[in-house]
Amino acid sequence: MRATSLAALTIVGAGWCLSGTAAAATPCAGLVDLHLPDTTILSAAVVAAGTFVPPDGTVAIDTMACRVAGSIKPTSDSDIRFEVWMPMTGWNGKFLSSGEGGFAGAINYSAIGGIADALRRGYAGGSTDTGHVGGTPDFEPGHPEKLIDYGYRGKHLQAVRSKDIINAFYGEPARHSYFSSCSNGGRQALMEIQRFPQDYDGVIVGAPANDWTHLLTGFVWNEQALAQPGAALSVSKLQAIQKATLASCDGRDDVVDGVVEDPRRCAFEPETLACAAGVDGASCLTPAQVRAVKKIMAGPRNPRTGAQIYPGYFTSAAGEAAAWPTWITGPVQGFFGNGFFARFLFQIPAPAVWDFNTLNFDRDVALADATMAPILSATQTDLTPFRRAHPKGRIIMWHGWEDPAITSVGAVAYYERVLHANRGTKDFFRLFMVPGMLHCGGGPGPNAFGQGYASAPALERNAEHDVVSALERWVEHGIAPRRIVAAKYVNDDPSKGVVRTRPLCVYPKQAQYVGRGSTDDAASFRCRNPRDDDDDEGDDD
């Protein structure tokens, strides 16, 4: 496992990694000869630190590792490419899998929870393209097996084959297997817990897109709302909406800092920004714009039954560049929503365009729920199989309150359903809501707590500040996280210093100012239930 002698280091240079059972280990190059079910090892080679730059051009992977690439073909129409990277020295004895955002289609080397992050922490790390190439849904029409590979099978098989390879390379199995990711990666995390509970004993679920069919329906709902004549919203109008929302409710948490602790407590009414009759301006809303904002805040409903399909979005960070201007009034939600319905549900091949205005929120949503949800949605609440598979297994879920992509209300609703479905939920599953954070990061609030060590490092890499370390301590030592201190860096750049720290609390508790000390210092806050005076010195349950 750890090469500590000169002889051992020489062998490492030749492609070996020694451990207490070195006789059973396989040299890196020899892994190409592994025989695994439905799997072909395409390459296996030692990669020197700093020599591999991911295709997206981000910082080179700075750990010397054995890189193994393979293909898994469980069906005749499958080709699930995957990679597992294993440190040549300093392996911590564990495996950390990343997830893949959006429509996947590529190995995650450097995004949140990617392979580079795992290696920096001493883990063996892995990822998969989930069975297709390219981050669009164009792969799917006519390929139902590829949809299953994307939906859940690819991630499961990647986990199994990665652990096989780790065992072969080090001569011993990983002591623990962890998963950490966000967005579609969060959906994958919950899918693994629900469908394949044996795969991981520690799982971090970030901003999960788990209610997939309803989430993508919400995207099209917003698109239709903004497509009405005169409904388009400029950035200046979104900034006015944000300013008005903060004026209404920023101080309700006893601190005026541009961050709302719980945006559900806000009561912004778009009509308060209505333009004078017959007038339009940069910071007011026309009648059509008022209607559009109200629809986006309310979320889609079934026109026949009135049932809520998906929750709406908050406005207290609407004007942030990476918030509504990118996701809701920008092109991103349309890309995902239109892609899902056109390519997945209606099987329209590229490059044909589907008219999003034709979506029927009764009939078409029911069809998506019947045909797509069983493959793509991860909404099961009974987690008994996970608890049986891993009596010491633990789950941490986190979500930015101001997420403009996957509304945070959905994560809260899912967690509350899990609370009702499982006895002693907080003994194995805890939710941390992040005030002022957007989608997977960014936003006006403290948003760095180790969810992506390379891009959003914690103040310190320990269980008090870093979510991966907190999960490790919970799984391996039985110490449950009661709060995690998050940092806000200047312009979200760690090299420029810290602006503010704030504790993230176990839901439903919230950070409340104690009335003394700097409001930019986490030490000035306690985690308290908004319904009573309990604080984090008492019982978390």
Q: Look up 439 and say whether it is catalytic.
A: yes
Task: Please tell me whether the peptide bond between 508 and the residue prior to it is cis, using omega within 30 degrees of 0.
Answer: yes
**Which residues does 460 contact at the CB level (< 8 Å), separation at least 6?**
466
Q: Look up 403 and say whether it is catalytic.
A: yes
Share of the chain residues as helix, strand and coil, in percent rounded to the nearest 5: 35, 15, 45
Identity of residue 362:
D
Q: Distance between CA 405 and CA 409 in Å, rounded?
A: 12
**Catalytic-labelled residue, pool 156, 214, 399, 439:** 439
Distances (CA, A) of 484 to 178, 401, 438: 19, 16, 18
Q: Distance between CA 299 and CA 215 in Å, rounded?
A: 10
Q: Coil, strand, or helix at residue 441?
A: coil
**Catalytic-labelled residue, pool 403, 408, 465, 524:** 403
| HEC string for 278-309 | CCCCCCCECHHHHHHHHHHHHCCECCCCCCEC
Other CB atoms closer than 10 Å to residue 307's CB: what's the count? 10
Closest Cα to residue 75, out of 170, 145, 12? 145
Q: Distance between CA 312 and CA 413 in Å, rounded?
A: 13
CA angle 44/113/426 to nearest 5° reads 130
- Retrieve residue 182's tokens: 């966000």
Q: Look up 98 and say whether it is catalytic.
A: no
Q: Coil, strand, or helix at residue 10?
A: helix
- Retrieve residue 451's tokens: 């969810």
Q: Distance between CA 337 and CA 329 in Å, rounded?
A: 13
Q: Distance between CA 371 and CA 213 in Å, rounded?
A: 10
What one-character-per-residue DSSP string does 103-172 give? T--S--SSSTT-HHHHHHTT-EEEEE-TTSSSSSGGG-TT-HHHHHIIIIIHHHHHHHHHHHHHHHHHSS
Closest Cα to residue 261, out of 541, 475, 510, 459? 510
Structural contact between residues 223 and 232, judged by C-beta atoms closer than 8 angstroms: no
- The catalytic site residues sit at 183, 403, 439
